[in-house]
Every structure is written in structure tokens, then in C-alpha cells.
Amino acid sequence: MELDMQKLEPLLGKMVTEIGAAANASLVVLGERLGLFRTLAADGPLTSTELAEKTGTSERYVREWLSAQAVTGFIDYDPPSGTFSMSPEQAALLGSPESPLDMTGAFYMAASLHADEPKLEDAFRSGAGIRWDNRCNCLFCGMDRTSPSGYKPFLLSEWLPALEGVVDKLEHGARVADVGCGYGGSTEMMAAAFPNSEFIGFDFHEASIAHAREHNGRANLRFETVRAQDYSGRDFDLVTMFDALHDMGDPVGTARHVKRTLAPDGTLMLVEPLAGDRLEDNFNPMSRLCYAASTAICLPASLDQEVGAALGAQAGERRLAEVAREAGFSRFRRVAETPMSMVLEVRP
């Protein structure tokens, strides 16, 4: 086999970069659990000895961990003083769970995919799905940590105001269903902002609903364990789905049920990963992440359910519009987008 070195060398360089990123992912999770990022962000610059003392960890391990994060670019290193620190930007992404831009949850999700690899191999061979309650628990924790970073900067200030007449309804008192709510972060966010409205979070995963009930307590908020096609209630002014429709086994059936439960002038807000309609439109870093997550998370979830439509996380606006039309909706438009998400307004 004759190799073209001009093609081989950049490919090899890319692979080394990728392997390094994969190897460091678990170290990011470890750094978050041990409080290394948080302490460095709050108290830095620090030497490895100082950080180890403040976190009750081994200096030698901490020193190697710091080196890995520094060469990755997740923290800064000052050679003359031998200290490490975090810029405000680094701290916003890794050093504070309260930050709306916190990205550590994504590394938890990555760790869960490695843990579930044998299950995915079986799914590839059989074509079956993977039960949602049979996934590594880090997946759910990661999703709960990641979702606010994608929603919090935009949901209240941009996305809801982009929907026709919705904020006025919410301020005066509306009925809202958050379908596929998971741990309830999005539901709680809306309930806190609009105390005059009633919010119900629905999800088929019992453990997620139990977590939501334990951690989100508001008089205008409750949670129920139920499939998306079967949730109860009528005349909802707003139904929301945050990165959930593409995971569902029967997205058309789900959308049809949403239409039945909406008020005549109600709105369905779909938040889905930003994607073009064709593979060739999606050669970018965000789609790369979404295709990988879709392969390992979204398709197995959908294929384990009744119809198993397997839309995938990169379904694209055109396919999502087809789902809405098949369900009987007549109005569909993109009202907002971010580098990660597109927000779709769907109405009867």
C-alpha cells in the first residue's frame, strides 16, 4: 500500500488531537468532582501544592492533572512563578456550576458513552434500541448540567419573546406543558420567571421525574411520569420540547397528541439542535458532536420505543416541518437560533 504523506500527516495529527481530547474527558469530570476547577477559578493563581492542599488531594496527581489541562488550554500556566490560573472565560465554561455557560456536563455525557459502549455494540449488531433506564447515570447528570448552558442565556430573553403572544399569556397566567422535561431544569426556569402560570413537566423516565420532584419545589410547578403520547390535560397555552422530539419513538404521534392538548390559539415550541437538511450542510464542529451523540444516545432511545422513527439529532428543519404537517399543524417557522440550537414555533 502506497501512502501519500501529504494526506497522511494532517490526518495523523488530527487523530492524535482526538485521542488526546478523549483521554482528557475523564480528567475534566474528575477535576469537577474534586473541586479542582472551582478552587483554581476562585483562588488562583496557585501552585500544584497549594491546589492540592486546598482540595485535600495528592500533589503529585494534581501536578500531572494541571499539566494536562494547561497544555489543553483549559487553564493557564505561568512558567516564572510555576502557578496555574483560570481566565474569566475558562472559569465560565469549567469553573462554576452556576455559570449559564458551564460545559462540564458535556464531559459527564462523554464519560457515560464510554461506559455504555458494550450496550451500543449489541445495538449495532441487533438493530434494537437501548432502554433509557438502562443507560449509565452519568448521562442524565450530564444532560441536566449541559441543558442550562444551552438554554439559560436565551430562553427567557430571546426564545419565549420570539413566540407570538406567548410572553403576555405567561405573565397573566397560562397553562404550560414541558414534554420530555428530564430533570426539570427548563420547567423550573420558566416556572420561576412566570409565577402566575401553571407548569407541568412530563417525562417517561421515572428516575428523572423523581429527581425533578426532589430538586424543584414551586407552587406553580409539578411533574408527572408519562409517555409523551399519553400525557393528560387540555387547553395548554404553550407546550415546550427541549431537544426531545428527535429522541422519541413516534414523533408524529407525539406531535399529534400535542395538537389535541393545545388550546385553539396555543403554541408548540420546539428546541432542536441546529442542523442543515443535508449531510453536506453539516460539516462543522457542532454537527460533528451532534452526529456522535445521535449515534450513541438519540437513535438507541428512539429505536427502543414503539415506532422507532430514529429522526436523529441532525434531522434538520425540513424533516421537522414534515413531522409537524403529518401531525396536523398548519403553521411552522423558525423564530430564533444560536450556534447550538434552533427554535421552532408550531401552531394549529
Classify the C-alpha dihedral 92-97-102-108 as positive or negative: positive
Adjacent-strand bridge partners of 225: 203
In the prediction, which pLDDT does 312 show?
95
Residue that has been written with the C-alpha cell 492533572 in this structure: 65
Q: How far apart are CA 86 and CA 31, in angstroms?
A: 13
Q: How far apart are CA 277 and CA 199, in angstroms?
A: 33
Grid cell digits, residue 214: 426532589
Domains of the chain in start order, with CATH, are 16-93 (1.10.10.10), 113-347 (3.40.50.150)
> Can you tell me whether residue 100 is helix, strand or coil?
coil
Give residue 293's identity as a one-letter amino acid code.
A
What does pTM read for this prediction?
A: 0.89
Average pLDDT of adjacent 10-residue blocks, the chain of 348 residues: 89 92 93 96 97 98 98 97 97 84 87 91 96 87 73 91 98 98 93 98 95 91 96 97 96 97 98 96 93 95 92 96 97 94 96
Q: How far is CA 102 from CA 114, 157, 160, in A?
A: 21, 18, 22
In the prediction, which pLDDT does 144 show?
78
DSSP state for residue 202 in the 8-state scheme: E
Neighbours of 332 (CB within 10 A): 18
In the prediction, which pLDDT does 139 show?
86
Residue that has been written with the C-alpha cell 403529518 in this structure: 326
Contact criterion met (CB below 8 Å) for 268 and 255:
yes
In the prediction, which pLDDT does 308 show?
83
User: What are the helix and strand counts (H, E) for the chain?
Assistant: 16, 9
In the prediction, which pLDDT does 149 show?
63
How many residues in the chain? 348
